[in-house]
Every structure is written in structure tokens, then in C-alpha cells.
Amino acid sequence: MRNLVIAVDGPAGAGKSTIAKIIANRLNINYIDTGAMYRAITYKCLKNNIDINNEEEVVKLAKDTDIDFRDNNIYIDGNILKEEIRTMEVSNNVSNVAKIKEVRYLMVDVQREIGKRNSVILDGRDIGSYVFPNADYKFYLVATPEERGQRRFKELKEKGYETTLEEIIKDIIKRDEIDSNREFAPLVKADDAIEIDTTGKTIDDVVESVISKINL
């Protein structure tokens, strides 16, 4: 049987990863958090004191990095990455790494390779519009910046991070702007994607909306 590919795109904090993880479990397919890949490169740059604005250095580091997913976890150079890629420092820098075309080429190669081998649901910004234009299903999740900020704030607070709602909303708006306006493979709704506004909806509501569109 051909591999199933489901794309879930949308701006920061729209609920993509929460929904994609649940759908992956329900359908017993792999989940790929493509944002984690850009975060992982950003984290490694920061750790190695690489200037994020020095494209050449960032691309060199990305080329020298081995990225893999196992059991829905991301590994770089053989080491699992968890919460260290979710810090505000990584969030504040990731969109400037993700706008580098050569970095995207490298990440997209990994994503396409995984999609060739497995049935997969991927969440990101350009999955339906660029990475898998022929995906079987494409969803585009949106919500108001206030609600997206509230969700991220709650999530980070539960994990013990010191941050404010204002800081998070500011980060979300700034990232959306850089992600939407970059030249190569920006954040955009694919023409054939199904848009779901998750504002005011529960996780279960959104999962049901998505599942109801999928015919297996």
C-alpha cells in the first residue's frame, strides 16, 4: 500500500503539534514535528556560539548535523533533544535560521525521505505548500494571536519556564511575520488545504474535525 501523507500547517501556537500527535496515535502512523528540526539547528548554533546572522556558518553547521526521528523523538548527532529546543532563546532565533534557503533544502530532504518510507503526519509551515504538494490530506490550522499566546503561555508555565504572556504573544507575532514573508517556502495556506479555526475549540473538537475528513 502507498504511504499516507498528512500535512498540518499553520502559524505558531495554532495547535498543530497537539492535534498531529493525537491523529498519529489514532491512525498508528509516524508523527514528524518539522519545527523541531529548525529548532534543533538553532539550538546547536547557539550552543556552539555560531552567529545566527552568519548564513555561511549556519549552513555549514546544518550540513554537518545528522538529524533523525525515532519513536517520534528528534535526535541530532545521535543525541535526543527534548525541552532544550523549546526555550524562549531558541524561539526568538529560530525563524532567522529557518529563512535560510540552504538550511531548508537540508531539512526538506530529510522530511521527504521519511515520507517516502513511512505513513506520516507532519506539522510545519510549508508541508502542504512545498514539501509534499501531493499530500493525501492537507490541513491549515489558525487561531487568534491572543488564544495562541495563551496556549503557549500555559504550556511553558506548566513546564516551569519564567515568561510572560506579553513576551510570548510578541514572539508569536514576530515569528509569524518572518515565516510569512521569507522568500523561500514561506508560511502559506496551500490552495487545497482545509482550514480549521481552532479559536475557542477544544482539542477533541479539532481532532474530530480533522478525523472526519480522512477516509482510509
Residues in the site for ligand C5P, rule: CB under 6 A? 12, 34-35, 38-39, 94-95, 98, 124-127, 175, 179
Give the nearest distance from C-beta 48 to ligand C5P in angstroms.
19
Give the nearest distance from C-beta 94 to ligand C5P in angstroms.
4
Residue closer to ligand C5P, measured from CB, 28 or 51: 51
Q: In terms of DSSP bridges, do strands 137-142 and 5-9 run parallel, antiparallel, or are they unpaired?
A: parallel
* Cβ(172)–Cβ(12) below 8 Å: yes
Give the nearest distance from C-beta 69 to ligand C5P in angstroms.
14
Within 10 angstroms of residue 200's Cβ, the number of other Cβ atoms is 9
Q: Residue 12, annotated ligand binder?
A: yes
Q: Residue 42, annotated ligand binder?
A: no
Q: In terms of DSSP bridges, do strands 30-33 and 120-124 run parallel, antiparallel, or are they unpaired?
A: parallel
Give the nearest distance from C-beta 107 to ligand C5P in angstroms.
7
- 41-57 burial code (b ≥16 CB/10 A, e <16): bbbbbbeeebebeebee
Instruction: With residue 113 as reference, give the H or E element that holds it.
Output: helix 101-117
Residue closer to ligand C5P, measured from CB, 94 or 207: 94
Annotated binding site: 10-18
Binding-site annotation, residues for ATP: 10-18
